[in-house]
Structure 1
Amino acid sequence: MPRDPKHDILFEPIKIGPKVMKNRFYQVPHCNGFGSEKPFSQAYFRALKAEGGFAGVSTEYCSISPESDDTHRMSARIWDDGDIKNLSLMCDMLHEHDALAACELWYGGPHAPNMESRCVARGPSQIPSDFEFLTYAIEADKDDIRHLQNLYVAAAKRARTAGFDIVYVYGSHSYLPQQFLTPYYNHRTDEYGGSFENRARFWRETIEMVKEAVGDDCAICVRMSTDMFMGEAGTQLKRDCLPFVELCDDLVDVWDINLSGIAEWGEDATPSRFYPQGRALPWQAAVKAISKKPVLGVGRWTNPDLMAEAINDGKLDIIATCRPSTSDPFLPKKIDEGRLDDIRECIGCSVCISRWEIGGPPLICTQNATAGEEYRRGWHPERFTKAKNADNDVLVVGAGPAGMECAMILGKRGMRRVHLVEAEDDMGGTMRWIPQLPGLGEWARIVNYRKIQIDKLKNVEFIPNTKLSAKDVAEYGAEIVIVATGSYWSTDGLNGASHATIEGADASLAWQATPDQIMGEGKELAGDSVVVFDNDGYYTGVSMAEKLALEGKKVTLMTPLGTIAPYMHFTLEAPNQHRTLHRLGVEIVPYHLPSRVEEGVVVATHVYDEEGHEKSFAADGVVWVAQRRSNEALFRELKDSIGLDQLKAEGVDSLYRIGDCEAPRLTADAVFSGHRLAREIDSDDPAFPLPFKRERRMVDDASVAFEKAEYAALYAEASLS
């Protein structure tokens, strides 16, 4: 289909200082866990977005010095010539697709824990980080300030040498330049503190020095948080940011406008649980109204109508995406080609962010199983080779996220026939009811996208309302059988804290329930008070508590963990989720594990109370969010009771299981499981993943000899103490 004319504005070129973007789509700086330590993974990940139509693509935050080391998290680094070489690969691959490459220069100040470098950062004042534990900075004197500015200059020159077209003087998320601008961090009384002009001095001087260093070879971008939502202490739009834009507009080629400090940067990343698309538009529009330069900004943009509206209304010049560009790197191209129903829309779950926050590459995506696997496994989200065993028929039993993904990819790989069989009346599995939980409506895109794609595949047939026995499966006539029957919540209180059941726990009783029963089966709990026991640690327990509280129940949320839903810290949902439950009057009881339940009461003990003192909680009902169990009965019967030999006699050559039927996991991991098997269905043994490429230093005899000689020379004249 041709592009809708109302989206034409999105594809107009736009000038950024000495550079020109071929359209208005830009991948804003965001982390992927590869940094400059894994240059091929980094380059292939970013270049795919350029292939998909993004006209500008940035690194993640790129450290300018060992003084700004964010280990355990992985940033990019541009400390030396080795980093220049590694990052130049990314630039070269972006340029092959006529995309601009951007480098976000970062110095963390007190937010840099420096766990690897063991350096000490410098900052405007000696205030400990409100994001890291036990992390302080040296209060910078005048010499330190010049040192810091020279670090930016040296890093900018390295970025230019690497081939970057855009250089950021990054301050937002309460990093160094914005620390100087903000009274919350800046307690100085010299010419770099106090008045707005003084607080703005460090940042403006640094921009001037960087601009002079790179000349006309690079555009200058400034990324600024326009509101930290902290009242007078934090950055203020009218007091600080708009005056700063007026002060520096002559130096800056493009403004990247966002929100929040680092301690609550979910206010910028905007998980869909709490915020719609375009949440930052009022702040971005305020800057656009006074700046003579282009303004870009994130908004979790997936809807091209809203993108075009933001530009036509004069609120933005460039559509910047982070998570949507990971969910679908071909977002611009699909809009350009009028293939809107093929867009793999971001669900705003922020599970991608969670992997960076935890500290492990690669990032993952619930919607896009190929994210982070572009180089490691050679996966492309839009291209598929025909399977070598494509003349086989495949039966996929279970149409949850793993089953849908597997059937879809098998179809795209050209398998002769793929039957996706589901006992219920529609696809989705648990993802049919999870989007009905408070705030999770956008998660329905997991199902919607795959339903649309499966419907387009002539070799894939969805068969609902069909429950297959093991005998039915064996006699079905498919050479390949894949069991994707998911998981269920334990009904007896079996949990990961005690590894045991709980006395009296029985969700078959009218006054007890699991999330599956309440959301999937419509089971209702009578009475006014409910205890939700949560040992899952992610969204389900808090969502059940929120739902029941909204229905007027008096809810106690009990967990053996130290805090409710600790995984939500990594997805940036925790602060707002805590506020929500507090506002609804939910009682939070951490570090407690039920020892027994009786109708009307839950008896629990503190997990660290060796004496076993018990405390009673009134409860007309109990919801068990204890642990999930793989629904593996069909698989076990096929493998163990019928047996692989008998299955072969029936014509079944291969039997596999995927998703939660293997082990309960994140939805992103279930989707990956289905995708991985389909990608490797023609390997020697698809049950076991093929090795992925590892980027690592390899030791050889010459390098060992060199290192030993260097070490020996270093200590040849040293005396032992």
Structure 2
Amino acid sequence: MNKYYPNLFSPIRINGVRFKNRIIAAPTGMMDLTPDGRLTVFDVNYYELKAMGGAAAVTLGESITDTQTGESHNRQIHLDDPESMPGLTHVAMAIKRHGALANIELSHGGKYGGLNSIGGEGTADRTSYGPSEEDLPTGEHVYEMPVELIQHIVKAYGIAAKRVKDCGFDMINVHAGHGWLFNQFLSPVQNHRTDEFGGSLENRARFLMMALDECRKAVGPRFPIEVRMNGDDFMKGGMTLEDYVELAKLIEDKVDLFNISCGSHEEDGLFVRTHPHMFLKHGCNVYLAAEIKKHVNKPVAAVGAISTPELAEEIIASGQADMVEIGRELLADPYFPKKSMTGHADDITPCQRCYHCFENIVRSTSVECAVNPVIGHELDCKYYDPAPTTRKKVLIVGGGIGGMEAAITAAGRGHEVILCEKSDSLGGALKLAKYVDFKEALYELEQVFERRVRKAAVEIRYNTEVTPEYVMAEGPDVLIVAVGADPVIPHIPGVDRDNVILGVDAEAEIDKIGKKVAIIGGGLIGCETAINLGMQNRDVTIIEMRSELAPEANMFHKMAVQPMVEKYTTAMTGVAAKEFNEKGVVVKNVETGEEILVEADTIILSVGLRSRTEDVEKFEGLVDEYYPIGNCVKPGQVTGAIHDAYFVTRDL
């Protein structure tokens, strides 16, 4: 029995197959597949890393059973193509050689097989088939799926199930949630058929049940079949938790494991409930699994922002679920299971729920994590790691997140590392995250990095202002400058008034902030500051000169931020601050020139950051190996600082 998390690390048997613990790496898709839907060596290493980290099973996502009708974007695995088998075989072998089970999600986009999906493009020239005929607000037309096509897709599920079993997979996951094919047929909102596939719940579930039966026939009786289904559609007129309890009872004899999720990828705003955003509590969807578990005898898995071993242990120990499925956290730290099991939970890199992973997949078709630079580079990080030819003296200026990452990686490679910080503590701007409830993961990230620095062979020098003279006297072989950025202070009359404070100081000086607040700048930082203050019952107005709030936020995080802005603040766009006075802010409409007063006790400046260019330039030429990194080069989020630091020092 594991002495740290005994329930989480107890084995379980599902249809005779032993899972070494209760953690499944949830289905995640890859978009750096070949154009014909085949896995690459990069994908193999991506999934293998999760197995190396200790998960009991690793699940491939976005694997399409019938490409022509079901591929919802142009980067999904084609299970109906025999030529996909070599890649599938290699990934199954890679997962299994680390003691994990290989699982794969069998999916079909339904009507999105002929529409451009949020996840990509390339299918819109195909005919779109859904449960019923409909005209979408976009002007696109969806045709009712003929019974002959339903029967064809059912057979395709059986072929796909047999194929992946032949490739060495240990189980399959039939996707019936998130707005895809079976979820569309289940939904009373989308399914208006009058034949045997419409009307009653049993009729609406018939397609799914036929596919499950076909899969069972293809793989045999002693092969686990998992079903991924919603516990609530969170859609007016859609399936509710009570409906899904009845569905679970209907299909229980056909499946071995229930994976309970919710929502829809394609419905506006629901994506960020399916994949919970930072404003929602961790494990916010677990209650859905817990309720369904009360009504079935088969094991149930919970999913949705389960990011700590303490939460996972409590879910299993309390009987809310038999297993947990973890997605984004295993990008932030694939070794979450092993670290938890061995008593090193305080070294787990926390997921920020920032959606950088999703955004990068859509933007560049390659996966990347904001806080784990290895993701997307698994292959070269695994094999290209030459030992240093000489031990170097590395001087790092700045103890923020970038400086700490540089120190950790350089020390790990055996170099002599000196980390200089001008204040009396490490962490930089991330220290202020402790004052914001929904940024607890960002503060924990800073704490994890600080613990790693203290455990590493790093000499830390606090209250040390590094000058060119200091560098010359120290004589390092390598100089890394990570001094961050300064807030921009606009040239507005009244900016030096006592009721005007900098946004970077707002959370730490919360007691100085009045009840009525005006925030100058509606970028992401300004919006998040406004939300935090609004949550504390302050009357907050965002003043933004541009026509859009938080334009730099990725599309998924913006889905989460916008409703919170609307709930907790008043936002004014297209207006510029003209003057600050004792009553508040005089703003001017950029189009009409109209001026109005926005009353405020406190004015917070959040108009951006400026790189510390002078600090970067003054160190130029002092050391042959000189690397400025992070915000002092280009203001951004933690991603740039962490990634810059890791890859610079990895090559030392």
TM-score when normalising by structure 1: 0.82
Does residue 634 of structure 1 match 2:615? yes
Alignment partner of 1:205 is 2:210: yes
Q: Which amino acid aligns with 2:530?
A: A
Partner of 1:419: 418
Q: Which amino acid aligns with 2:239?
A: T
Change beyond 3 A, Cα 1:345–1:549 = closer
- Structure 2 gaps, min length 5: none
- Deviations along 1:19-64, whole A, 9 cap, x unmatched? 3323222101023433455511111011111112112101122223
2:641 is aligned with 1:670: yes
Cα distance in 2, alignment partners of residues 135 and 8 from structure 1: 52
Partner of 1:325: 330
Closer/same/farther in 2, CA of residues 436 and 525 from structure 1, 3 Å limit: closer
Write the letter of the residue equivalent to 2:461. Answer: I
Shift, 1:202, TM fit = 1.4
Instruction: Note the C-alpha offset of 1:525.
Output: 5.9
What is the match of residue 121 of structure 1?
A: 128
Question: Is the counterpart of residue 430 in structure 1 residue 425 in structure 2?
Answer: no
Q: 1:582 aligns to what SS in structure 2?
A: helix
1:176-575 paired onto structure 2 within 5 Å: 176-216=181-221, 218-231=223-236, 233-238=237-242, 240-262=243-265, 263=267, 264-276=270-282, 278-356=283-361, 358-375=362-379, 377-379=380-382, 386-390=387-391, 392-415=392-415, 417-457=416-456, 459-492=457-490, 504=492, 507-519=495-507, 524=512, 528-534=516-522, 536=523, 538=524, 540-550=525-535, 553-560=538-545, 563-566=548-551, 570-572=555-557, 574-575=559-560
The equivalent residue for 2:631 is: 660
Note closer, same or farther for the CA distance 1:318–1:543 as it changes in structure 2 (3 Å cut). same
Q: Is the 8 A contact 1:324 1:345 kept in 2?
A: yes
Paired with 1:488 and 1:627, the residues of 2 have a C-alpha distance of: 9
Q: Distance in 1 between matches of 2:461 and 2:30?
A: 38
- Deviation of 1:287 (Å): 1.9
Per-residue CA shift, 1:103-140, capped at 9, x if unaligned? 1122122334343242223111234669xx55543211
Cα RMSD after superposing both structures: 2.7
CA contact (8 A) 1:271 1:573 kept: no
Which runs of no fewer than 5 residues in structure 1 stay unpaired? 493-502, 682-721
Contact 1:437–1:543 (Cα < 8 Å) also in 2: no
Describe the superposition over 1:325-344 as per-residue Cα deviations: whole angstroms up to 9, x where unpaired. 11111122222322223322
1:592-611 equivalent positions in 2, closer than 5 A: 592-594=574-576, 596-599=578-581, 600-606=584-590, 609=591
Alignment partners' CA distance in 2, 1:326 and 1:56:
15
Q: Is the 8 A contact 1:513 1:523 kept in 2?
A: no
Letter in structure 2 aligned against 1:658:
I
* Range with bigger deviation, 338-347 or 253-262: 338-347
Deviation at residue 166 of structure 1 after TM alignment:
1.7
Q: Which amino acid aligns with 2:566?
A: H
User: Any idea what the Cα deviations from partners look like across 1:265-303, whole Å, max 9, x if unmatched?
Assistant: 221322233212x22222111222222222122243343
2:100 counterpart letter in structure 1: A
State the alpha-carbon separation in 1 of the partners of residues 336 and 363 from structure 2: 28
Give me the whole-angstrom Cα distance separating, in 2, the residues matched to 1:292 and 1:552: 45
Contact between 2:519 and 2:606, CA under 8 Å: does it hold in 1?
A: no
Cα deviation 1:223-277 (Å, max 9, x = unaligned)? 001112234x112111x2111111111110111111222221221322233212x
Change in Cα spacing, 1:196 to 1:9, as seen in structure 2 (3 Å) is same
> Match of 1:23, SS?
coil
Percent of aligned positions that are identical:
26
Could you tell me whether the CA contact under 8 Å between 1:192 and 1:201 is conserved in 2? yes
Q: Work out the CA distance in 2 between the residues paired with 1:177 and 1:197.
A: 13
8 A contact 2:401–2:638 mirrored in 1: yes
User: Residue 91 and residue 4 in structure 1: after superposition, are their counterparts in 2 closer, same or farther (change >3 A)?
Assistant: closer
User: Cα offset for 1:438?
Assistant: 4.6
| Residues 193 and 340 of structure 1, relative CA distance in 2, 3 Å threshold | same
- Going from structure 1 to structure 2, the CA distance change for 1:9 and 1:555 (only over 3 Å counts) comes to closer
The answer to whether the 8 Å contact 2:580/2:586 transfers is yes
TM-superposed CA distance for 1:388, in Å, is 2.4
SS of residue matched to 1:156: helix
Q: Aligned ranges for residues 121-200 of structure 1 at < 5 Å? A: 121-127=128-134, 135-200=140-205
Distance 2:136 2:402 in 1: 41
1:374 partner letter: E
Partner amino acid, structure 2, of 1:104? E
8 Å contact from structure 1 (residues 364, 668) kept in 2: no
> Distance between the aligned counterparts of 1:254 and 1:667, measured in 2?
38
Deviations 1:169-216 (A, max 9, x none): 201112110111111211222221221121111111121122212324
Shift of residue 418, structure 1, vs aligned partner: 0.9
CA distance in 1, matches of 2:152, 2:158: 10
Q: How many residues align?
A: 636
